[in-house]
Amino acid sequence: MCPPVEDTPVNGTNGQANGSNGTNGDHPGFRAIQSSHNPHSNHKSPYQPVGDFLSNVSNFKIIESTLREGEQFSNAYFDLEAKIKIAKALDEFGVDYIELTSPAASEQSRLDCEAICKLGLKAKILTHVRCHLEDAKIAVETGVDGLDVVIGTSSYLREHSHGKDMTYIKNTAIEVIEYVKSKGKEIRFSSEDSFRSDLVDLLSIYSAVDKVGVNRVGIADTVGCASPRQVYDLIRTLRGVVSCDIETHFHNDTGCAVANAYCALEAGATHIDTSVLGIGERNGITPLGGLMARMIVADRDYVLSKYKLHKLKEVEDLVADLVEVNIPFNNYITGFCAFTHKAGIHAKAILNNPSTYEIINPADFGMSRYVHFASRLTGWNAIKSRADQLGLNMTDAQYKECTAKIKALADVRKIGLDDTDSIIRTYHQNLHSEVEKPLLEGLSAEEEQKFQEAEKSLGGVPEKRQLDQTADAEAEVPAAKKTRSAAVA
């Protein structure tokens, strides 16, 4: 979970926290930081491919499948109350479609489907059924807006799953499509295991269902074997064969789900299947947050115009609690480390202009950026920023000397936020006191010895001696300078 916001100026323009959004959990050594400005202008990459008329990177729809694919996640058990909460949260976020488990799967699935259809959500409600007329009839009666029909087309599934040949698949698909259309419902026909299916078989059946008026055809990377280049080539080829929309469903077994979804849109796909946190069968599918991270970089204005991005963490927390998992530290956007900066050179640039080391503006998602300054990697700019938050004013030379002491202590032991704050406060106090207090109370004898050795080592460096002299010369209290100089000697 992302760390909380503390001691942060209230200002909503720079990506730092300005309320409760985007804050959940705690971690020592982190604070939301104030940056000078945060344009995050949508500059185009010099290596970005030239768009063409087939690309839908700036014109796509999300079919959110947490209540269908997500139910296949190993930890998932959604009762009706949970399903309604998820459906409402997804609708509030702004997804275009919500896909539900087949009502033919169980009696409770049918009742759940009917109940969600009656909620009056803005998103269209779909259900995912086998390419079977009886399943389609059950689904139509629930009141859904559309059906997602699927059947395996690879040799693996035709031989070892349903046992049907391509002629049977084509005839059954046309029968189901014509029935669903006669009931005034949307319909998508999808092959399963598309990327291990014969290309001629795929194009033949897609062409046939396109001619009878299917709304969408679907490409499914059921086992997660496809690469972005394979996806682009197949979607591009399919785009030349059908005139209907193209939906895509990518499993994440080999870590390519987000990249594959993006390449599919570049090639002409129109709809992307997602689930919250990517949950689903095995390693799941394209995560909703991951897709948003990719697409806001591609076309920020389009994404912001359609989706309430500040609701992302809310829906992810909801689903994470329901399936009893923690949000990963490196999760897209909402992970603990998503907008956390630790290295000194990074912190300095971030404080001056966050665009230097951030491609995504955390404020777009109601999140905050953080700087980790309680470590040996910290830089004096980060310490200066923290001192400003604490209301302590020093010269640059003094900030640098204080930083050197923090780094020396961090070489002795792991230090936390409170330790760092204590050092900063005590260092500042020593500038105004005739008696120099220990920078940090509670050190063991061994730690104290190591710290003193680190101090002596730093004192032997010419640059450090010069820094001490400059800091002393700039101290506000002359008496303190003498005491400190003697202590260093």
CA 248 centroid distance within chain? 20
Catalytic residue among 251, 341, 346, 428: 346
Q: Would you call 37 a catalytic residue per the annotation?
A: no
Alpha-carbon distance of 116 to 125, in angstroms, equals: 8
Q: How far lies 480's CA from each of 220, 264, 430, in Å? A: 72, 67, 7
Greatest alpha-carbon span in the chain: 95
Element containing residue 221 per DSSP (H, E): strand 216-221
DSSP states along 362-409? GGGGT---EEE-SSTT--HHHHHHHHHHTT----HHHHHHHHHHHHHH
- CB burial of 79-101 (b: ≥16 within 10 Å; e: otherwise) equals eeebbbebbbbbbebbbbbbbbb
Q: Tell me if 249 sits within 8 A of 273, measured CB to CB.
A: yes
- CB burial of 271-291 (b: ≥16 within 10 Å; e: otherwise) equals bbbbbbbbbbbeebbbbbbbb
Tokens matching residue 393: 């004013």
Q: Tell me if 157 sits within 8 A of 113, measured CB to CB.
A: no
Rounded (10°) CA dihedral 393, 394, 395, 399: -120
Candidates 276, 271, 226, 274; CA nearest to 248 is 271
For Cα atoms 298, 303, 304, give the angle at the middle one, nearest 5 degrees: 125
Active site residues: 346
